[in-house]
Amino acid sequence: MDKNIRFRLNGKTMDLTSSPDRMLLWVLRSDLSLTGTKYSCGEGFCGACTVLVDNEPVMSCQYPVRNIEGKDVLTIEGLKKNGKLHPLQTAFMQHNALQCGYCTPGMILGAYALLLKNPEPSAGDIADAMEGNLCRCGSYNRIIQAIQTAARMMRGERS
Amino acid sequence: MKKDDFSFTLDRREFIKLVGGGIVVFFTAGDPLALPQQRGRGYPEDFNAYLKIGEDGRVSCFTGKIEMGQGIHTSLAQMLAEELDVPLNSVDMVMGDTALCPYDSGTFGSRSTKYFGPPLRQAAAEARGILIQLASEHLGIPAEKLTAKEGAVTARDGSGKKVSYAELARGKTIERHMAEKPPIKHHSEHIISGKPTDRMDSEQKVTGEAKFAIDVRLPGMLYARILRPPAHGATLKSADTKAVQDIESVRVYEDGDRIAVLHEHPDMAAKALEKIKAQFEPSQPRLDNANIFEHLVKSAPEGSVVTEKGDLPEGKGMASQTLSQTYFNHYVAHAPSETHTAIAQVEGNKATVWASTQSPFRAQAEVVEALGFPPENVRVITPFVGCGFGGKNQGNQITEAALLAKWSGRPVQVAWSRKEEFFYDTFRPAAVIKIESGLDSAGHIVFWEYKNYFAGDRSSQPFYNIPHHLVLSMGGWGGRSGGSAHPFGVGAWRGPGSNTNVFAIESHIDVMAEAAGMDPLRFRLHNLTDERMKRVLTAAAERFGRTFAKAPSGKGYGLVCTDYLGTYVATMAEVKVDRKTGAVRVERVVCAQDTGEVINPEGARMQIEGCITMGLGYCLTEEVRFKDGRILDENFDTYTIPRFSWLPEIETILVDNPDMPPQGCGEPAITTMGGVIANAVYDAIGKRMFTLPMTPARIREALG
């Protein structure tokens, strides 16, 4: 049975009519045409579909929409503010921390959640927090550097 | 220009409408794989790429190549901007669109910069010549008194007289075929090419705006899920679709054993598919990871000589020691981040397909055949591709989407699930290498007999100074030469053939070094006369900064060198082995590469780092397990690919060699990983691993 679900998506209140059992990934990608959130493994093993729900990273392919009721959902499309890139986006570009770019939205959102909790993560902290995000092109070392650069930018230090 | 020149997929009027006015230069990229006789019927034979200076001054390069992360979207633009004297950010790459781009055989084999780059430069130089000529007429100044810079032609006399490319192109439709090869700039004059340059596609990719095939959304589109067999070789006995037929908003396609369900949402289509009750006849193959190597050696074709020199019996007579070993490599998956995907739209007898493919023109030909439409009515568009590595040279999802779109009258997406990806992927073939070699008393390799079962022959040609050698190849890595012996599809995998060959060859070189009583570096230098290879090895050794000792030294150092289609690579690594768990930890990798002239040093380093990182997987964990036609690894829970925590410190060295034309860069370094880690593991624990991947279980077994 379809149900009305009210939540905030990238800062805006949304009313969604959907079966509450459907996974957030598909609702984002097909009902709402927000394709920045990626399908890759479909079973929560790769992190490509990572979005934030109330600032916690979740794998949207495993996250039923009933759980977003009344919550804040942040996807990659919501990161740019007033036309300005988020420091993580800028830092990923500066470090060329991507190749095919398919895992990138999930990587950036995973990093966003990490930096909320730990504004000065070590390389080891980043590896621990991001272990579930896979990058087949092999940009991991650059992603670690980009996250540390973004952290410095966000702390107001010069990169 | 003759009308025939536009015989690719659109007629001339439509082509000009799509491309717009301006100055267009056609040229031929000299890839031997794209020679006219190998092209399909009806394709132009006199050019396979072109560039355009538009009326707005923007420069477009039209090429059938595609961008899957390897960075040619940036490096080709650098080559073009350099030679045309325009700012890099005024270049647009139009890639992999069969309607706009002339025929190309596909993007694979690290061939784009090597074969496409040089003629692209010449075409740009030709265009610059045309612009200077037009400027001469426009300004009334002789051409030799003009110079081109940053998208404009300026008088050399300092008078400030100047006209922009945009102004020169405005209102004109000039088409020029590159006939002669105009001179291009010497690398010492370069200000864009050869300079470290950030990726030009990164802003789209960090904002989520970059579109992959899986992201294409069309009004009224449906998502298809297709009934698949549980095992390779299994056939459909019966299927009961009644439960699905009753669901509103699901459409069911049935044609023989092809059954699909279509829905407006992909998850709902997947749910509907589960309701189909299907029975399959089990498959016959009785193969698994344990008996595959024996099977392959038994079913190998007679094979062919890859290279031979001298006289093997004579070499054997010279040997004071003979060393024989057999090396094994398992199947691995491409595991691209974006699964094989296509979206097709059919209107009347016209089809447009957005595909995640490395071979848009092959895809176009397949759709033409599947739908029976005229070639000019089928257009394949390739958005950004989420990884390829050879796996997207082919894929049935394209014709499946096309057939379902024709049947349903709606745009249809077929995106493989991860499980389908692990089932229909063309794996890198399992392979067996048998080597017999001999040393004389002075530590020289005097003979080398190499038998290769199903790896493919790439990188199997000896580059050491060996007077007597014979290299045989029994079964290649794909296609007719390699396909039939395997229980499922096999094909090219980043550095096809070479990953297995370099592992076997360079492991065996270490076996000989130890027998000769030398350390691995000294033994290699002792048996090399190729100065370019010595230079790359020395560059890596200097940066590595550790002294190699006769193995096993207990230190865990390894080294490898190879020649991958003209790119020379030397890789050194330091590992730690946990003797209790058998886990290998790679601490540090140093990789020196001579790839001739480097177009984008930043891009080259990214490719090398990516190769080293991805390569850790096939060294240590990646192995597709299967039994009786079933694939047992279906997702990343059991098929383990490299993760953040695995990462060693990686140092890359680009060995300066700008006078050599640019060679390939996307694959060479990955081919060194099996050998370098196996050699480092041996140096650490004194046990040689003859089988890849070197899983903890295999290491524990070796340690006894």
Chain A: residue nearest B200 by CA?
Answer: A93
- Provide the token pair at B291: 């008996």
With vertex at residue B590, the alpha carbon angle to CA B584 and CA B592, rounded to the nearest 5 degrees, is 140
**In a shared domain, residues B65 and B113:** yes
The C-alpha atoms of residue B244 and residue B271 are separated, in whole angstroms, by 10
Mark which of B201, B233, B261 sits at the end of a domain: B201
**In a shared domain, residues B301 and B380:** no
At residue B8, the pLDDT reads 43
Say whether pLDDT at B355 is over 90: yes
What is the greatest pairwise CA distance in chain A?
A: 53
The C-alpha atoms of residue A35 and residue B486 are separated, in whole angstroms, by 37
Say whether pLDDT at B6 is over 90: no
Q: How remote is the C-alpha of B132 from its chain's centroid?
A: 38
A39/B contact by beta carbon, under 8 A: yes
B645 chain-A contacts, CB cut-off 8 A: 127-128, 131
Going A58 to A64 to A67 to A68, the CA torsion angle's sign is positive
Question: Of A24, A29, A37, A96, which to mutate for an interface test with B (greatest number of B Cβ within 10 Å)?
Answer: A96
Q: Comparing A14-18, B18-22, B71-75, B672-676, which segment has the lowest mean pLDDT?
A: B18-22
- The answer to whether B203 and A91 have CB atoms below 8 angstroms apart is no
Question: What's the CATH fold of domain A87-154?
Answer: DNA polymerase; domain 1 (1.10.150)
CA neighbours closer than 13 Å in the CB half-sphere of residue B404: 31
**In a shared domain, residues B138 and B266:** no
As a whole number, mean pLDDT of residues A46-73 equals: 98
CA distance A37 to chain B (A): 7
Nearest Cα neighbor of B270 from A47, A57, A20, A30 is A30
**In a shared domain, residues B396 and B437:** no
Size of interface A-B (CB pairs under 8 A): 172
- The answer to whether B230 and B248 have CB atoms below 8 angstroms apart is no
**In a shared domain, residues B76 and B124:** yes
The pLDDT tens digits for A21-44 are: 999 999 999 999 999 999 999 999
Q: Note whether A98 contacts B206, CB cutoff 8 Å.
A: yes
Q: Note whether B606 contacts A33, CB cutoff 8 Å.
A: no
**Of residues B209, B387, B641, nearest to A100 (C-beta):** B387
CA distance A130 to chain B (A): 7
The C-alpha atoms of residue A68 and residue A73 are separated, in whole angstroms, by 7
In percent, the amount of chain A with pLDDT more than 70 equals: 99
Nearest Cα neighbor of B7 from B102, B104, B123 is B102
CA distance A59 to chain B (A): 14
Residue B250 lies in a domain: yes
User: Which H or E run includes B448?
Assistant: strand B445-453
As a whole number, mean pLDDT of residues B436-450 equals: 98
A134 chain-B contacts, CB cut-off 8 A: 337, 636, 641, 643
**Of residues B612, B614, B644, nearest to A130 (C-beta):** B644
Q: Note whether B267 contacts A76, CB cutoff 8 Å.
A: no
For all residues of chain B together, what is the average pLDDT? 92
Where does the pLDDT of residue B43 fall: very low under 50, low under 70, confident under 90, or very high at 90 and above?
very low
A125 chain-B contacts, CB cut-off 8 A: none
- The answer to whether B224 and B414 have CB atoms below 8 angstroms apart is yes
Chain A: residue nearest B644 by CA?
Answer: A127
The pLDDT tens digits for B558-594 are: 999 999 999 999 999 999 999 999 999 999 999 999 9
**In a shared domain, residues B361 and B496:** no
DSSP 8-class letter at B693:
S
Q: Note whether A99 contacts B70, CB cutoff 8 Å.
A: yes
CA neighbours closer than 13 Å in the CB half-sphere of residue B234: 20
Say whether pLDDT at B44 is over 60: no
CA distance A79 to chain B (A): 8
- The answer to whether B89 and B74 have CB atoms below 8 angstroms apart is no
Question: Of A17, A136, A141, A147, which to mutate for an interface test with B (greatest number of B Cβ within 10 Å)?
Answer: A136
At residue B446, the pLDDT reads 98
Q: Which residue has the higher pLDDT, B476 or B261?
A: B261
Q: Note whether A141 contacts B650, CB cutoff 8 Å.
A: yes
Chain B: residue nearest A93 by CA?
Answer: B202
Contacts of A100 (CB under 8 A, 6+ apart): A136, A137, B68, B69, B337, B338, B384, B385, B386, B387
Q: Comparing B281-290, B303-312, B411-420, which segment has the lowest mean pLDDT?
A: B281-290
- The answer to whether B368 and B316 have CB atoms below 8 angstroms apart is no
Overall number of domains in chain B:
3
CA distance B134 to chain A (A): 39
**In a shared domain, residues B144 and B274:** no
Rounded alpha-carbon distances, angstroms, from residue B132 to A53, B84, B126, B139, B153: 58, 11, 10, 10, 6
- Provide the token pair at B429: 């073939």
Q: Note whether B606 contacts A133, CB cutoff 8 Å.
A: no
Chain A: residue nearest B494 by CA?
Answer: A137
| Phi–psi pair at B278, nearest 5 degrees | -120, 145
Domain ranges of chain A: 3-78, 87-154
The C-alpha atoms of residue B523 and residue B671 are separated, in whole angstroms, by 21
Mark which of B356, B390, B415 sits at the end of a domain: B415
Angle between helices A140-154 and A123-130 (to 10 degrees): 110
Residue B209 lies in a domain: no
The C-alpha atoms of residue B463 and residue B533 are separated, in whole angstroms, by 9
Q: Note whether A141 contacts B609, CB cutoff 8 Å.
A: yes
Contacts of B159 (CB under 8 A, 6+ apart): none
The C-alpha atoms of residue B356 and residue B388 are separated, in whole angstroms, by 9
Q: Note whether A142 contacts B610, CB cutoff 8 Å.
A: no
Whether the bond between A105 and the residue before it is cis, its omega within 30 degrees of 0, is: no
CA distance B114 to chain A (A): 20
**In a shared domain, residues B276 and B306:** no
Say whether pLDDT at A5 is over 70: yes
* Torsion angle in degrees (nearest 10) through CA of B452, B458, B464, B469: 40
Where does the pLDDT of residue B51 fall: very low under 50, low under 70, confident under 90, or very high at 90 and above?
confident
Where does the pLDDT of residue A127 fall: very low under 50, low under 70, confident under 90, or very high at 90 and above?
very high
- Provide the token pair at B281: 């006849």
Q: Which residue has the higher pLDDT, B238 or B16?
A: B238
Where does the pLDDT of residue B178 fall: very low under 50, low under 70, confident under 90, or very high at 90 and above?
low
CA distance A76 to chain B (A): 6
Residue B422 lies in a domain: no
Count Cβ atoms below 10 Å from residue B57 Cβ, excluding itself. Answer: 19
**In a shared domain, residues B162 and B220:** no
Q: Comparing B101-115, B221-235, B243-257, which segment has the lowest mean pLDDT?
A: B101-115
Nearest Cα neighbor of B488 from B331, B673, B337, B643 is B331
B215 chain-A contacts, CB cut-off 8 A: 29, 35
At residue B670, the pLDDT reads 98
Contacts of B301 (CB under 8 A, 6+ apart): B474, B475, B481
The C-alpha atoms of residue B96 and residue A139 are separated, in whole angstroms, by 25
Where does the pLDDT of residue B18 fall: very low under 50, low under 70, confident under 90, or very high at 90 and above?
low
| Phi–psi pair at B34, nearest 5 degrees | -110, 25
At residue B2, the pLDDT reads 31
Q: What is the 3-state secondary structure (H, E, C) of B374-393?
A: CHHHEEEECCECCCCCCHHH
State the CATH number of the domain containing residue B309.
3.30.365.10
Domain with residues A3-78, CATH architecture: Roll (3.10)
Say whether pLDDT at B621 is over 50: yes
Whether the bond between B693 and the residue before it is cis, its omega within 30 degrees of 0, is: yes
- The answer to whether B21 and B390 have CB atoms below 8 angstroms apart is no
**Domain range for residue B609?**
292-331+427-703
Pairing label, strands B557-564, B567-577: antiparallel
Mark which of B389, B415, B441 sits at the end of a domain: B415
The C-alpha atoms of residue A27 and residue A69 are separated, in whole angstroms, by 14
The number of helices, as runs of H, and strands, as runs of E, in chain B is 19, 29
**In a shared domain, residues B192 and B108:** yes
The type of residue at B41 is R
At residue B248, the pLDDT reads 82
Count Cβ atoms below 10 Å from residue A89 Cβ, excluding itself. Answer: 24
Say whether pLDDT at B179 is over 60: yes
At residue B39, the pLDDT reads 42
Chain B: residue nearest A64 by CA?
Answer: B267
Neighbour-count burial for B555-590, b at 16+ CB within 10 Å, e otherwise: bbbbbbbbbbbbbbbbbbbbbebeeeebebebebbb
Count Cβ atoms below 10 Å from residue B456 Cβ, excluding itself. Answer: 28
**In a shared domain, residues B140 and B18:** yes
Q: Note whether B417 contacts A108, CB cutoff 8 Å.
A: no
**In a shared domain, residues B465 and B557:** yes
The C-alpha atoms of residue B619 and residue B635 are separated, in whole angstroms, by 19
A131 chain-B contacts, CB cut-off 8 A: 643-645
Say whether pLDDT at B606 is over 50: yes
A126 chain-B contacts, CB cut-off 8 A: 644
The pLDDT tens digits for A77-117 are: 999 999 999 999 999 999 999 999 999 999 999 999 999 99
At residue B483, the pLDDT reads 55
Say whether pLDDT at B499 is over 90: yes
* Torsion angle in degrees (nearest 10) through CA of A106, A110, A116, A119: -110
The C-alpha atoms of residue B105 and residue B64 are separated, in whole angstroms, by 8
CA distance A7 to chain B (A): 21
Rounded alpha-carbon distances, angstroms, from residue A117 to A48, A60, A140, A150, B35: 21, 20, 21, 14, 57
As a whole number, mean pLDDT of residues B438-457 equals: 97
The C-alpha atoms of residue B60 and residue B52 are separated, in whole angstroms, by 5
At residue B13, the pLDDT reads 58
DSSP 8-class letter at B96:
S
Chain B: residue nearest A139 by CA?
Answer: B610
